[in-house]
A and B are shown apart, each in its own frame.
Chain A
Amino acid sequence: MKTITTAHTPQTVLDLDLMPPSRSPWSETWRLLRKNRMAFSGLVIFAIFFIIAVAGMLLTSGRKPVLDPAQVRLQEKLRPPMSVPIPETVVSGTAPILGRYLLGTDDLGRDVFARMLQGAWVSLTVGFVAVGISVLIGIVLGGLAGYFGQRAIRVGHILSWSLVVAAPILALAAKPLAALLAAAGALAGWAFYAWRRRRRGEPTPVLLRWLSWTAIGVDDLVMRAVDIMLCFPSFFLILTVVALLPPSLYTIMIVIGLTSWMGTTRLVRAEFLSLREQDFVAAARALGLSDLHIIFRHIMPNALAPVLVSATLGIASAMLTEAGLSFLGFGVPPPHATWGNILSDGKDFIFDAPWLTFAPGIVILIVLLAFNLFGEGLRDILNPKLRERN
Chain B
Amino acid sequence: MIAFFGRSVVQKSITLFFVSVVSFLVIHLAPGQPSQIDPLNPKFTREVVERMRQQFHLDKPLHIQYLLFYRDLFTGKTVSWKDSRPVLGKIYERFLNSLPLFILGTLLTWTFSFPMGIRAAIQRNGPFDKSTTFLSYVLISVPGFFFAYVLIILVVTHLNVPVIDMQTFGVTSDSVMVLFMDRVWHLVLPSILGATGGIAVLSRYVRGQMLEIIGMDYVRTARAKGLSYDGVYYRHALRNALLPFVTMFGLMLPGLIGGSVIIESIFGWPGMGRMAYEAILARDYPVILTLNFITGVLVLAGTFISDLLYMVVDPRIRL
A and B touch in the complex (CB under 8 A): yes
In the bound complex, do residue A236 and residue B291 qualify as a contact, i.e. CB atoms below 8 Å apart? Answer: yes
CA distance A327 to B31 in the complex (A): 23
In the bound complex, do residue B296 and residue A232 qualify as a contact, i.e. CB atoms below 8 Å apart? Answer: yes
Which of A246, A361, A373 lies in contact with B31, CB distance below 8 A?
A246
1/0 contact trace for B6-39 toward A, CB 8 Å? 0000000011101100110011001110000000
Chain A contact residues (Cβ within 8 angstroms of B): what range? 35 or more
Whole-angstrom distance between the Cβ of B178 and the nearest chain A Cβ:
26
- With A236-B261, A320-B143, A343-B146 as known contacts, state yes or no: A231 contacts B300, CB within 8 Å: yes
CA distance A357 to B142 in the complex (A): 13
Q: Is the interface of B mostly helix, strand, loop or mixed?
A: helix
Q: Which residue of A has the minimal Cβ distance to B292?
A: A232
CA distance A361 to B265 in the complex (A): 18
CA distance A240 to B283 in the complex (A): 9
Which of B212, B254, B258, B276 lies in contact with A386, CB distance below 8 A?
B212
Whole-angstrom distance between the Cβ of B26 and the nearest chain A Cβ:
6
Whole-angstrom distance between the Cβ of A130 and the nearest chain B Cβ:
16
Question: B309 within 8 Å of A by Cβ?
Answer: no
CA distance A365 to B141 in the complex (A): 5
In the bound complex, do residue A328 and residue B277 qualify as a contact, i.e. CB atoms below 8 Å apart? Answer: yes
Among listed A65-73, A161-169, A222-230, interface-contacting one: A222-230
In the bound complex, do residue A361 and residue B137 qualify as a contact, i.e. CB atoms below 8 Å apart? Answer: no
Which of B137, B145, B258 lies in contact with A373, CB distance below 8 A?
B137
Question: A245 within 8 Å of B by Cβ?
Answer: yes
In the bound complex, do residue A241 and residue B26 qualify as a contact, i.e. CB atoms below 8 Å apart? Answer: yes
In the bound complex, do residue B299 and residue A231 qualify as a contact, i.e. CB atoms below 8 Å apart? Answer: yes
Question: B61 within 8 Å of A by Cβ?
Answer: no
In the bound complex, do residue B145 and residue A324 qualify as a contact, i.e. CB atoms below 8 Å apart? Answer: yes
CA distance A328 to B299 in the complex (A): 26
Which of A38, A233, A246, A327 lies in contact with B134, CB distance below 8 A?
A38
CA distance A328 to B261 in the complex (A): 9
Whole-angstrom distance between the Cβ of A238 and the nearest chain B Cβ:
10
Interfacial chain B residues near A241, Cβ < 8 Å: 26, 30
In the bound complex, do residue A365 and residue B153 qualify as a contact, i.e. CB atoms below 8 Å apart? Answer: no
Interfacial chain A residues near B211, Cβ < 8 Å: 386
In the bound complex, do residue A323 and residue B143 qualify as a contact, i.e. CB atoms below 8 Å apart? Answer: yes
1/0 contact trace for A225-266 toward B, CB 8 Å? 001101111011101110111100000000000000000000
Task: Please list the residues of chain A having a beta carbon within 8 angstroms of any beta carbon in chain B.
Answer: 38, 224, 227-228, 230-233, 235-237, 239-241, 243-246, 316, 320, 323-324, 327-328, 343-344, 347, 350-351, 354, 357, 360-362, 364-365, 368-369, 371-373, 376, 385-386
Task: Please list the residues of chain B having a beta carbon within 8 angstroms of any beta carbon in chain A.
Answer: 14-16, 18-19, 22-23, 26-27, 30-32, 133-134, 137-138, 140-147, 149-150, 152-153, 204, 208, 211-212, 215, 254, 258, 261-262, 265, 276-277, 280-281, 283, 288, 291-292, 295-296, 299-300
**24 A–B contacts, CB within 8 A, in A order:** A228-B15, A228-B18, A232-B296, A233-B254, A235-B261, A236-B258, A237-B26, A239-B261, A241-B30, A243-B280, A244-B283, A323-B143, A324-B145, A327-B262, A328-B262, A350-B152, A361-B142, A361-B149, A365-B138, A368-B140, A369-B141, A372-B137, A385-B215, A386-B211
Q: A232-B295, A351-B153 are in contact. List 17 more A-B contacts (CB 8 A).
A: A38-B134, A231-B299, A232-B19, A232-B23, A244-B30, A245-B30, A323-B143, A343-B146, A350-B149, A357-B146, A361-B142, A361-B149, A361-B150, A372-B137, A372-B140, A376-B137, A386-B211
